[in-house]
Amino acid sequence: MVRWFARITALLLIGFSVGASAAVAPFKVGLGFDKLAVTQPVSPPGKIVVTEFFWYNCPHCFEFEPLLEAWAKKQPADVVLDRVPVAFAPQFVPQQRLYYALKALGKVNALQGAVFNAIHVQHVALMSADQMANWLQTKGVPKQQFLNAYNSFGVQMEAKRATQMVTDYQIQGVPTMAVQGMYTTSASMPEAPTNEKVLQAVDYLVNQVRQSMTKSAK
């Protein structure tokens, strides 16, 4: 009788453990995220790199931006947020270069949200270098300084690299998040139908990567 009771108890505990695991890990490949066939390189080494693929003119990216900013501020030191502006067509390229010019000038953190607001709230056209330079001048960025960065070889190379990443990561729409060059998630995924769910999936993937890195270090 004691042995029978012990076995039943053990089975119940196993069932509880599996159920608890499912409760805290609701995501899996195809449900909440996808796994890339080929893992992409990430930098810096030793960090967990979370990548956002975005487009300034995208209304969904505009809605996602404040949530992503709030999420980024809560991350520990081992998590790095990288942004990659997409260019699904040639007319997207100027805004790619806008982002990398701001990055080169050290202005992304100060002006990323302002760019989105200018386009989606104030309805400012930011589709050409001159339009961008004139608007940025109102934000304290000297026009020629911006144009020099915008036209620099480094910014042009960054834009080309971003376009290659869109291909390598098989990005079909934005915003899309990637984790450690291995996983992608977006609001088009089952189990991640909202921006909040997307970030929950990112948190889950970050934790999975962290655990894997910890095991590898032992």
pLDDT of 216: 82
Domain boundaries, the chain: 28-217
How far does Cα 200 stand from its chain's mean position? 12
Q: Give CA torsion, residues 13, 17, 20, 26, to 10 deg.
A: -150
Enter the tokens of residue 20.
């608890």
Enter the tokens of residue 72.
């980024």
Q: What share of the chain in percent tops pLDDT 90?
A: 79
pLDDT of 157: 98
**Helix pair 93-104, 108-120: axis angle to 10 deg:** 150
Neighbour-count burial of 90, counting CB atoms closer than 10 A to its CB (0-12 exposed, 13-18 middle, 19+ buried): exposed
pLDDT of 21: 34
What does the alpha-carbon distance between residue 155 and residue 81 come to, in Å, rounded to a whole number? 19
pLDDT of 180: 98
Residues of the chain under the 50 pLDDT cut: 1-24
pLDDT of 25: 57
CATH 3.40.30.10, domain 28-217, yes or no: yes
Residue 154 contacts by C-beta under 8 Å, 6 or more apart in sequence? 100, 104
pLDDT of 190: 77
Instruction: Summarize pLDDT for 98-143 with one digit per residue, the tens.
Output: 999 999 999 999 999 999 999 999 999 999 999 999 999 999 999 9
